[in-house]
């Protein structure tokens, strides 16, 4: 009635409700995320679930045991869901005990052996620490995949020009070799020294077929 008369906003109603709570009820408010404390509907739902009959706790404990990370679910979102269920499963437990239970549930619910091993090695104290370590690990993995995927392209950009240079060197070398051979043949043809040459027609050394007298005589007859 007061909220309606004074035309309070949702955040104002949440603030007035939170400041009027005492005992265990106030503890629920302090256990919420800061941005959720001024969400009136969320606050009412948390208070209602906190003071539900005790037999509901067993249902939430079963949810904790069967909870696993959904595909594509962000780690902070998973942690928020676990903390909510933990409060419902252990409504009367001290905050530090609930946080320990939530942390253990988070490590199991991640369902990723590499992240779990990282968490065990880092020994986080709270579920918030688990989220931070997990997010850092996933960011590292994404960065490493990006670097791995870009390395082949970089290597190809550097290697290709060298491969082209090697091919060009081989071609130029072959051309130079052929040029030397042609020069040698030209010099040989200009020379009158046929002492080492054997005629293919008569088999006598000292001349070539085109200057062979026997060949020329045979062609005349």
pLDDT of residue 41: 83
In this structure, is the dihedral angle defined by the CA atoms of residues 174, 180, 186 and 191, taken in order, positive or negative?
negative
The model carries a pTM of: 0.47
pLDDT tens-digit readout, 112-124: 999 999 999 888 9
pLDDT of residue 218: 77
Q: For the chain, give every domain's residue range.
A: 2-111, 193-221
Closest CA to 14 of 28, 109, 24: 28
H or E element: which one contains 155? helix 127-190
**Parts of the chain with a pLDDT under 50:** 154, 162, 164-165
Closest CA to 74 of 106, 52, 105: 106
Closest CA to 28 of 118, 101, 103, 88: 88
pLDDT tens-digit readout, 39-63: 888 888 777 776 666 567 888 898 9
pLDDT of residue 80: 93
Alpha-carbon gap, residue 207 to 213, rounded angstroms: 10
Closest CA to 69 of 112, 99, 132: 112
pLDDT of residue 165: 47
């Amino acid at each position: 009635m007061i909220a309606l008369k004074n035309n309070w906003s949702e955040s104002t109603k949440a603030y007035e409700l939170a400041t009027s709570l005492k005992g265990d009820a106030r503890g629920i408010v302090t256990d919420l995320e800061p941005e959720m404390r001024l969400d009136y509907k969320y606050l009412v739902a948390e208070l209602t679930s906190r003071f539900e009959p005790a037999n509901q706790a067993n249902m939430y404990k079963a949810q904790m045991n069967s909870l696993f990370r959904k595909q594509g679910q962000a780690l902070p979102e998973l942690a928020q869901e676990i903390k909510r269920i933990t409060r419902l499963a252990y409504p009367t437990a001290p905050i530090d005990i609930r946080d320990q239970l939530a942390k253990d549930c988070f490590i199991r619910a991640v369902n990723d052996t590499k992240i779990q091993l990282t968490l065990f090695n880092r020994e986080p104290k709270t579920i918030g620490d688990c989220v931070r370590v997990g997010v850092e690990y996933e960011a590292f993995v994404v960065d490493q995949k990006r670097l791995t995927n870009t390395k082949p392209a970089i290597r190809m950009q550097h290697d290709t020009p060298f491969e082209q240079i090697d091919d060009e060197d081989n071609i130029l070398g072959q051309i130079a070799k052929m040029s030397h051979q042609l020069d040698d043949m030209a010099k040989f043809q200009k020379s009158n020294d046929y002492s080492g040459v054997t005629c293919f027609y008569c088999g006598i050394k000292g001349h070539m077929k085109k200057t062979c007298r026997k060949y020329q005589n045979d062609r005349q007859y």
